[in-house]
Amino acid sequence: MPELPEVETIRQGIKQKLKDKKIKSVEVKVPKLFIGSVNDIIGAKIVDAKRVAKILEIVLDNGHSILIHLKMTGQLIYKDDYSQAVGGHSQKVYDADPPHAYTHIIYQFSDGSHLYFNDFRKFGWNMIIESSKVKEILGPDKFGPEPGQSGFSEGYLKNIFAKSGKAIKLVLMDQQKIGGVGNIYANDALYWAGILPTRSAKTLSDVEISKLKTTIEKVINLGLKYGGSSENTYVNIEGKKGHYMEVTAVYQKNKDPKGHIVKRIKIGGRGTFYCDICQK
């Protein structure tokens, strides 16, 4: 489900809700989605929540971390005695209060609260790993700089674009080159920058690269402000929907903000939305 803003919204929720909680037990209903040993985290306390691109790291006080990738349709829902986790999920399969048929992993804390990992398509995963080894999976050789970070500079973009003859949209979504940008935000950023998603990355002018850098950061920040998107299954840790979809420019729209017809094609097998009047 999520791209950078969605995962970041969840990270903030985890940090706020789960800090200092002690893991009492873990129930793994679908072993395939859980990598590592439950025994490594039982009794450990949660001290921090971090994020690299679209992957969450829950840091424990015993030298281990839980890495979580939600892929297309994963959810993390926190529930305690005082909160009911059902938000207005638009996806019918998630209407029930967890745990339900699509709850695959349940973390129970010593105060009786729970964290539920739901994923009806089972693409996502949880991984227990030594915190010192996290960089082997999430290191800078695996994930490029993220919008908002200092490494995400005009010079850097110029460099990676010049080396790629691929469609600019594919480069934006390449996690090794740029961290955290997925389909929704790539479509919107290109729209606001007035650049066709099919353009070869190396044909972008300096002015276009500068503009694109700005619009990528703009849509990511807008996503953060609106608490993520919620077209299908996205909900934050309390089960509430985000609102970014209310302000997307072209993603899954018929008309752009100016009333032009939005064209729809496929790039790299992904739905691609653009306006051939506004984007050149």
Stretches 40-48, 150-158, 177-185, 213-221: which one binds DNA (CB under 7 A)? Answer: 177-185
Site size toward DNA, by CB under 7 A: 40
Alpha carbons 99 and 160: distance in angstroms, whole number: 44
Among 39, 81, 82, 92, binds DNA (CB under 7 A): 92
Q: Is 91 in the site for DNA (CB under 7 A)?
A: yes
Region binding DNA by CB under 7 A among candidate stretches 16-24, 37-45, 181-189, 206-214: 181-189
Task: State which H helix or E strand residue 173 sits in.
Answer: helix 168-173
Closest to 219 measured CA to CA, from 256, 198, 250: 250
Residue from 51, 54, 213, 240 touching DNA (CB under 7 A): that is: 54
Instruction: Find all residues with CB under 8 Å of 152, minimum gap 6, and list them.
Output: 145, 146, 178, 213, 217
2 noted as active-site residue: yes
For the bound state, the minimum distance from the C-beta of residue 95 to DNA, rounded and expressed in Å, comes to 9
Stretch in the footprint of DNA (CB under 7 A) among 11-19, 87-95, 204-212, 213-221: 87-95
Q: How far apart are CA 25 and CA 110, in angstroms?
A: 8
Q: Which residue lies nearer to DNA by CB, 36 or 43?
A: 36
Considering only 1, 59, 68, 178, the residue that binds DNA (CB under 7 A) is 1
As measured in angstroms, the least distance from the Cβ of 49 to DNA is 18
Rounded Cα distance, 57 and 159, in Å:
30
Question: Least CB distance from residue 267 to DNA, whole Å?
Answer: 9
Strand-pairing partners, residue 55, are 52, 69
- Torsion angle in degrees (nearest 10) through CA of 93, 95, 99, 102: 10
The residues, ordered by sequence, that sit 6+ positions from 72 with a Cβ below 8 Å of its Cβ are: 1, 121, 123, 124, 233
54 catalytic residue (yes or no): yes
Q: Is 3 a catalytic residue?
A: yes
Return the range that interacts with DNA (CB under 7 A); candidates 1-9, 35-43, 58-66, 191-199.
1-9
Site for DNA in 185-224 (CB under 7 A): none
Please tell me the distance from the alpha carbon of residue 172 to that of residue 177, in angstroms, as a whole number.
8
Helix (H, G, I), strand (E, B) or coil at 125: strand
Instruction: Determine which one of 54, 177, 213, 253 is catalytic.
Output: 54
Q: Chain-centre distance of CA 67, in angstroms? A: 13
Q: What are the phi and psi torsion angles at 110 (to 5°)?
A: -70, -20
| Residue 53 is a binding residue for DNA (CB under 7 A) | yes
Smallest distance, DNA to C-beta of residue 82, A: 26
Where in 145-174 is the site for DNA (CB under 7 A)?
164-166, 173
The reply to whether 98 sits near DNA by the rule CB under 7 A is: no
83 binds DNA (CB under 7 A): no
Cα 83 from Cα 206, distance rounded (Å): 50
Alpha-carbon span 257 to 260, nearest angstrom = 7
Window 61-80: residues binding DNA (CB under 7 A) = 69, 71-72
Catalytic residue positions? 2-3, 54, 270
Residues in contact with DNA by the rule CB under 7 A: 1-3, 6, 32, 53-55, 69, 71-72, 91-93, 101, 120-123, 164-166, 173, 175, 182-184, 228-234, 242, 266, 268-271
